[in-house]
A and B are shown apart, each in its own frame.
Chain A
């Protein structure tokens, strides 16, 4: 009851403040974010990609699986915008349909990694002592396997396939999030308001959910966006190496790998899926950069 009254009071205060000069964090964020032109464009491009991922397979002009042996490896034209592949399938349609796969792999793997890493990071940072030491040592061990190698090792155990790529990339993102969240947990934990909450007898679970977790959220969001680009790249690399999506899947890395043998006579089979990966990853990276600049109070213009 008491809490409700307080929050109403707060709301009122907020509203009166809004009318005057002060800005809410959200509008402040939006103002800064809009200034980053490239990030702003990327934001809309990412929304476009998400829409494409949802409806892409239904709007493509050609069947993505049906071979057309009359029309093998033909170059870009008005009927086939990005040409056809060794089976005569329309590359443009396959790229559009493949958006779904790349975004799905990128988003789910980073989301799983972020959830796992945030959980471990908060536990380590909040409780400290031996829990912290154990969690951080595990992270050190995972960090000892550089880059994509940990993912390859995990796939060597689990076997190739897209589902295993998601698991591999997720595990490989866990220590990254754990470290970042741990350090922001440590800084939030030492703030005065957390001390105050503790002194009035709030339970650890409440402190973590109400104060620590929201405090770490902005760095998690920034890293989440920045990791999506690299997760999509890693997944495409693994598919290119034959460890991820298998043909005839229209996954971009797998399509590229299939075009390798025809590079000399039909370079378009390789060029277009690569461009799709590049543009998608670039959009996520630019968006991540923009979010970082807008959310990170340290960087002021």
Chain B
């Protein structure tokens, strides 16, 4: 297990390195001069030159990259063009709301997705299966922003059960977390169904049945445990879907998180913030996938020896 951990950690280093280059180059890929952008529309040539010196844009690109990385390790992500506050402060204010939103979305989506998947697999080609799978493909096809708006109109405006947006109490989480998790619940349900159906064909399931185990024990005890292995990997990838989806959902629900900050920053062309956000989202996603990989190793003893 220890070797497996080391191997995985070593594998992500080149990816982290490439991601950092990609994000560093981000500002350089914008058409036009970043220094002019920072200095503002009515800046003189001297102003632009000063800004260029301040940002270190007059130095060779390799040197710029090294100082970018050095600053990064010291927690310096630059200054927001819009608020003039350090980017790290802007981001740390917004981190937890997004984290909890994605967390609760994931929790309900996995619970409901697993349940629907298992029911569909065990009741194959019966009405429960058709209903579950039609529900799942519908969940995949719903535009989340539209679903969010409809839920706000029905449950927040008309019925007044939940707030329309922002974070006030635990009730504020219900509608956005439901909206954000729908797509993931659908993917988990579909994936669990196909994975469990494959497993239920295996010999050891037949053995279980023939030695007189109840169908319940066969499905939940033997079947699901093995079917879970690919489902776990899939779920990890879905975290990326959630992080991306949070951008849309936070805009709909005026959620004070990273996603809304990103959209506001794109509108304002606040490049230091956009750059930092891309980095945070990428790091978070890489980290979650690392955790999922390790979990995969725990669930599947075979993989540890490969």
Contact = CB atoms under 8 A, between A and B. Distances in A.
Is chain B a partner of chain A in the same complex?
yes
Interface of A: 38, 137-138, 140-141, 143-149, 152-153, 155-157, 229, 233, 236-237, 240-243, 253, 256, 260, 263-264, 267, 270-271, 273-274, 277-278, 281-282, 285-286, 289
A149 B150 contact: no
Contacts of A149: 243-244, 247, 262, 278, 281
18 contacts: A137-B18, A141-B15, A141-B22, A143-B240, A146-B240, A148-B244, A149-B243, A156-B30, A157-B26, A233-B141, A242-B263, A256-B145, A263-B152, A270-B146, A277-B146, A278-B141, A278-B146, A282-B137
B266 A146 contact: no
Contacts of A270: 146, 149-150, 153
A237 B281 contact: no
Given A143-B240, A278-B142, 12 more contacts: A144-B282, A144-B285, A145-B282, A149-B262, A229-B140, A233-B141, A237-B144, A256-B145, A256-B149, A270-B150, A274-B150, A285-B137
B248 A282 contact: no
A38 B271 CA distance: 46
Nearest to A236: B143
B278 A153 contact: yes
A236 B22 CA distance: 27
B210 to A, nearest CB: 24
Nearest to B267: A242
A237 B240 CA distance: 16
B245 interface: yes
B286 interface: yes
A16 to B, nearest CB: 36
Contacts of B248: 148, 237, 240-241
B241 interface: yes
A156 B274 contact: yes
B138 A282 contact: yes
Interface of B: 14-15, 18-19, 22, 26, 29-31, 134, 137-138, 140-146, 149-150, 152-153, 157, 239-245, 247-248, 251, 262-263, 266-267, 269, 271, 274, 278, 281-282, 285-286
B15 A285 contact: no
Q: Is the interface of B mostly helix, strand, loop or mixed?
A: helix
Nearest to A153: B278
A163 to B, nearest CB: 14
B244 A146 contact: yes
A263 B149 contact: yes
B49 to A, nearest CB: 24
Contacts of B138: 278, 282
Contacts of B285: 144-146
A271 B141 contact: no
A152 B157 contact: no
A233 to B, nearest CB: 6
Contact of B266 (A138, A152, A264): A152
B243 A147 contact: yes
Nearest to B157: A264
B244 A147 contact: yes
